[in-house]
Structure 1
């Protein structure tokens, strides 16, 4: 059976000293400044457009003439250039949703440094809990060992580490290993097909009548603490003189808010990973709506001449949709099902929540909150609205928009006629 190359990422927490944190912070800020210099050099250049060679020459000259540019390793600087040009390629690609590259703000951009050469890492396992890695201009650093890395431990998974990326979040610095393995092509998934409706009241409703739900990402005490910190930051901002940088007290408040929000995100991602893994193991074909999430969460404020209506209610709905991270759920589901020989199919989202799956009658008045009651006198079906939508999504597999996974399964899904429950 012919194999395939499988690229994956593994995140591990770094154990750094205060001096090492300062070094990595300096490298990340230098990488951000280099991005901004490249953007200025390319967009404000007079005459012909700059080429990759022009940018590379400019970077080498800057590293010789500007002292602080030397904080960033040479390979990491080349990675910034490569990422910048890839951003332009994504922008000019008609099928890619990326926008035009812009300058990176110090306060809003994420601190990150690339280590593109795997030979520089020299990854070893120290003991059961810790591994060690070499970082350029930082030295030998320990990281939390939670999973065997390809090509590192004897008897571990076959493969290799192709590089890494250092990323800082509210909990500190982490290392993201890029790994590559040669795996056999998966056999066709024997599981049944299912439609999945993504919602706010119910996170995931399946066409077989089951649901996947979760509680609040933060506990009651954590939510109250977050509310107090947000009120405190508002008072501190009001007391700050205009056009003055944030005080250390305000910065500490921001850090505490960021840590609570990062805690909520970690719990959300953990639930999504566990839930999508369970779905990928159980079902061979998962049908979801092809949602335009960016359009759905647009503000309803409107303009001065044409102000919006129910702005506060729409803002609350937008926050709920963003908190569910529907796009990330499908992204996780796609690669997990593909690894198991299954398929994720996207179908048009129109009318799925207003149509009765049994008789096909469509009426917006049939849905009242989470309850759906068909108004067709000859049908009269009643049940959970999200389950009804999930069945309609499963039945719409014959009008597939796109499929991720086995191409043969995608073609058979396109030929599949709509089915009644």
Structure 2
């Protein structure tokens, strides 16, 4: 008796580092500036026209005319210009649908330089080495890129497994290319792994209810008690970063108000951005590896529904009612932002789905203050950020505070307090026959 394997379409992205020559890097810079300028011109044209004269065809004609009249706008390929138009109209659709803010002017210092390549057939990808591949960029030529993942190219490419397009993105570490990949793969079978509750913390990044915690091996605070904002850098890189920041401060104090930033100061800022980008890359790499191992091991993952935006608000208060412990709260906010809890949950969501598992969210209030052994919330049980000692005379359980919260998170799910999004909000789903309970 044969069983049919269910196939499903999967779309994902893969980012690789490019190795362009200096001449090719300048050409990509010109295309990125042209794409940003075209967006700004399109935005001004759209906002100045009356509503009855706005249309996609009129915008397309305006872009074609601008590319003919302005020479340096012609550096952008025609298909990339059409991608700018499509992205701008999609931004307005997201605004009208209530999913995003209206599109705005893209300033040069605060905009990520990027160019879209909508047609996958223009890339002509080939693998020339175990670690390197070659990709064709329109109006630039062949460029090497780092081969870190098998891509559906050559004989492996088909109508179901192919690269549909790409996007060039520049950050402080240089130019990268993000491929858009479409594949057809077998639907995963239900994961038979155990259940686990996860609590995201500052001292312990990911505390698991079964005690198999995940730590990145870097202390969140310095010996003097302040938050370590550069924990992903080694001591030599930290010393270099401190020297660059002091150099930038000295050069900045000699600049008059309204004066243009000097070339030396811009170069110092660029070196600082490189070190910051390197630290971010290491943090994301740790998150990817950690979430992948968790998704492969556990079939059901339970996390808290956190409102991180409210958690990182400043404690300064108002002039009439100033806040307390402002510096300590600012350090805690920096530590929370560095851990990037929202990005961790996003990774766990799609990775558990690929492995056949499921991710659930439970209400967050009370999980860190309630004892996981007796289920009673006693004032004073939470001693600092790392220790929990139950003050209930009949219990007296003690342990790591994040581990205690992770056990409470899993218990809430088992008692039927999982949240299900309904019409843009979260509703509580309880299994039939299970009554709500707050204590063991």
The structural deviation recorded for 1:416 is 9.3
Give the match's secondary structure for 1:260: helix
Deviations 1:333-376 (A, max 9, x none): 11111011001111111111111123221234210121112222
Aligned to 2:244: 229
Q: How does 1:206-217 map to 2 (within 5 A)?
A: 206-214=208-216, 215=218, 216-217=231-232
Deviations 1:250-303 (A, max 9, x none): 111011101100110111011001100110110001111111112222233334
Aligned to 2:419: 401
The structural deviation recorded for 1:155 is 9.8
Deviations 1:117-150 (A, max 9, x none): 0011111111222211111110111112222101
Counterparts of 2:363 and 2:44, CA distance in 1: 41
5+ unaligned residues in a row in structure 2: which ranges?
A: 219-230, 422-426
Conservation of the 8 A alpha-carbon contact between 1:347 and 1:393: yes
Counterparts of 2:381 and 2:361, CA distance in 1: 25
The structural deviation recorded for 1:231 is 1.9
Conservation of the 8 A alpha-carbon contact between 2:420 and 2:429: no
Asked if 1:43 is matched to 2:50, the reply is no
Aligned to 1:65: 69
Aligned to 1:110: 112
Conservation of the 8 A alpha-carbon contact between 2:379 and 2:391: no
CA gap 1:25/1:232 in 2 versus in 1, 3 angstroms: same
Conservation of the 8 A alpha-carbon contact between 2:162 and 2:182: yes
The alignment covers a number of residue pairs equal to 413
Asked if 1:131 is matched to 2:133, the reply is yes
Aligned to 1:388: 404
Match of 1:9 among 13, 36, 44: 13
Counterparts of 2:354 and 2:360, CA distance in 1: 15
Give the match's secondary structure for 1:365: coil
Counterparts of 2:318 and 2:52, CA distance in 1: 39
Asked if 1:352 is matched to 2:394, the reply is no
Conservation of the 8 A alpha-carbon contact between 1:166 and 1:175: yes
CA gap 1:192/1:106 in 2 versus in 1, 3 angstroms: same
Counterparts of 1:44 and 1:317, CA distance in 2: 45
Give the match's secondary structure for 1:27: helix
Conservation of the 8 A alpha-carbon contact between 1:347 and 1:402: no
Aligned to 1:407: none
CA gap 1:102/1:365 in 2 versus in 1, 3 angstroms: farther
Asked if 1:88 is matched to 2:92, the reply is yes
Q: What is the TM-score of this pair, normalised by structure 1?
A: 0.92
Counterparts of 1:36 and 1:363, CA distance in 2: 57
Aligned to 2:178: 176
Q: What is the TM-score of this pair, normalised by structure 2?
A: 0.88
CA gap 1:360/1:42 in 2 versus in 1, 3 angstroms: farther
CA gap 1:336/1:62 in 2 versus in 1, 3 angstroms: same
Conservation of the 8 A alpha-carbon contact between 1:125 and 1:153: no
The structural deviation recorded for 1:168 is 0.7
Give the match's secondary structure for 2:380: helix
Conservation of the 8 A alpha-carbon contact between 1:400 and 1:414: no
Conservation of the 8 A alpha-carbon contact between 1:42 and 1:49: no
